[in-house]
């Protein structure tokens, strides 16, 4: 099982199946916030194209659906999924922090489960997004808010630290590995609600924002390990000594099962959904 996880993590494969545990649960409610007149949609960090496929079902008149992602393998899966929609679909392999070229404007721009990967460039990305949105368009994004402990770790960071402890580290040594390997904890990448509100307000009018508790559950330790490998790749497993990477994934599976037994979930955090409109008040940034 863990040898498979190591292979899977190298290429972040299996995202379609894995994301059913967390990321895809947000997609329907994100689409609820699309303008009724949506004809052109842009999905930032589109992954395997699931949201765009659902958008075609919701908006049969959709004329253009563009997805951007930096992982070519995910875009290949998206292309396969969206093949039936022909040249209405555009898929672009690009880094969102590099202001990619797109055929703007769009009625609806979405970015789900992506923002923490853009740290610390959010302000620049929000400015670029504000330039791609139509006058009556909506920008909807989801942001993650795990509670950070005194070491700045929370959510998955904390599960990972426990796995490193199972491999023999003290808590302090496991925590120190994050800085030593340049792995910035997700609980810090995600920024606070207050900070994000201030950042978004520089470029948009925030129309609505709603929090929701997101609890991660998996049917088995193996299922959690597949989710982890598909979502985080080697981001966290690089913290383990190379000879212990397989054991690291085993430890994650063990801890996931143990938490499910003990508390009925593996991790829990707030996910916030934001609906933003083009900036109309005062001087734009
Ligand atoms: C957790 S997945 C979310 C995928 C999809 N939006 C969803 O909700 O299921 C994060 C996605 O963002 C992409 N991503 C991360 N950083 C990126 C960047 N700088 N530029 C483009 N895509 C990026 C990843 O490749 C990945 O597919």
For 242-285, give the DSSP string: GGGHHHHHHHHHHHHHHHHHHHS-SEEEEEEEEEEEE--SS---
Residue 9 is predicted with a pLDDT of: 85
By DSSP bridging, strand 64-69 and strand 40-44 are: parallel
Strand, coil or helix: what is 211?
A: strand
Q: Whose CA is nearest to atom 12 of ligand 1?
A: 45
Ligand 1 lined by 146 (C-beta under 6 Å): no
Ligand 1 lined by 70 (C-beta under 6 Å): yes
Question: Domains (ranges, CATH) in the chain?
Answer: 1-18+147-185+219-264 (no CATH), 33-146+190-217+269-285 (3.40.50.150)
Strand, coil or helix: what is 141?
A: strand
Per DSSP, 32 falls in state: T
Residue 210: beta bridge partners? 273
By DSSP bridging, strand 204-216 and strand 133-145 are: unpaired
Residue 16 is predicted with a pLDDT of: 86
Ligand 1 lined by 48 (C-beta under 6 Å): no
Residue 143 is predicted with a pLDDT of: 97
Residue 281 is predicted with a pLDDT of: 74
Residue 283 is predicted with a pLDDT of: 53
Q: What's the CA-to-centroid distance between 282 and ligand 1, angstroms? A: 32
- Nearest CA among 231, 213, 217 for reference residue 271: 213
Residue 12 is predicted with a pLDDT of: 83
Ligand 1 lined by 67 (C-beta under 6 Å): no
Burial class (CB in 10 A: 0-12, 13-18, 19+), 187: buried
Spatial contact of 30 and 54, defined as CB atoms under 8 Å apart? no
By DSSP bridging, strand 204-216 and strand 89-93 are: unpaired
Which two three-digit tokens encode residue 198?
A: 């201030």
Strand, coil or helix: what is 228?
A: helix
Residue 185 is predicted with a pLDDT of: 97
By DSSP bridging, strand 133-145 and strand 89-93 are: unpaired
Residue 1 is predicted with a pLDDT of: 63
pLDDT average per 10 residues of sequence, the chain (285 residues): 80 84 87 96 97 97 98 96 98 98 98 97 98 97 96 97 98 98 96 97 97 94 94 96 95 98 96 96 57
Strand, coil or helix: what is 187?
A: helix
Residue 21 is predicted with a pLDDT of: 84
């Amino acid at each position: 099982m863990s040898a498979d996880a190591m292979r899977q993590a190298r290429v972040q494969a299996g995202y379609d199946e894995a994301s059913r545990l967390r990321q895809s649960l947000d997609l329907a409610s994100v689409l609820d916030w699309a303008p009724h007149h949506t004809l052109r949609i842009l999905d930032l960090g589109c992954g395997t194209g699931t949201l765009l496929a659902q958008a075609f079902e919701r908006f049969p008149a959709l004329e253009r659906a563009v997805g951007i992602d930096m992982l070519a393998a995910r875009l290949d899966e998206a292309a396969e999924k969206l093949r039936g929609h022909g040249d209405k679909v555009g898929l672009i392999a690009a880094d969102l922090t590099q202001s990619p070229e797109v055929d703007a404007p769009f009625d609806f721009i979405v970015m789900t489960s992506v923002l923490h990967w853009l740290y610390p460039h959010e302000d620049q990305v929000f400015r670029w997004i504000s330039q791609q949105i139509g006058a009556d368009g909506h920008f909807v994004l989801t942001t993650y808010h795990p509670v950070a402990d005194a070491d700045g770790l929370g959510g998955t960071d904390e599960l990972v630290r426990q796995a490193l402890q199972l491999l023999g580290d003290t808590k302090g040594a496991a925590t120190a590995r994050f800085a030593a390997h340049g792995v910035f904890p997700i609980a810090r990448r995600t920024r606070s609600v207050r900070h994000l509100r201030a950042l978004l307000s520089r470029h948009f009018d925030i129309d609505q924002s709603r929090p929701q508790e997101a609890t991660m559950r998996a049917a088995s330790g193996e299922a959690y390990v597949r989710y982890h490998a598909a979502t985080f790749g080697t981001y966290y497993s690089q913290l383990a000594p190379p000879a212990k990477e397989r054991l690291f994934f085993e430890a994650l599976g063990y801890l996931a099962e143990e938490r499910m037994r003990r508390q009925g979930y593996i991790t829990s955090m707030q996910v916030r959904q934001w609906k933003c409109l083009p900036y109309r008040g005062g001087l734009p940034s």
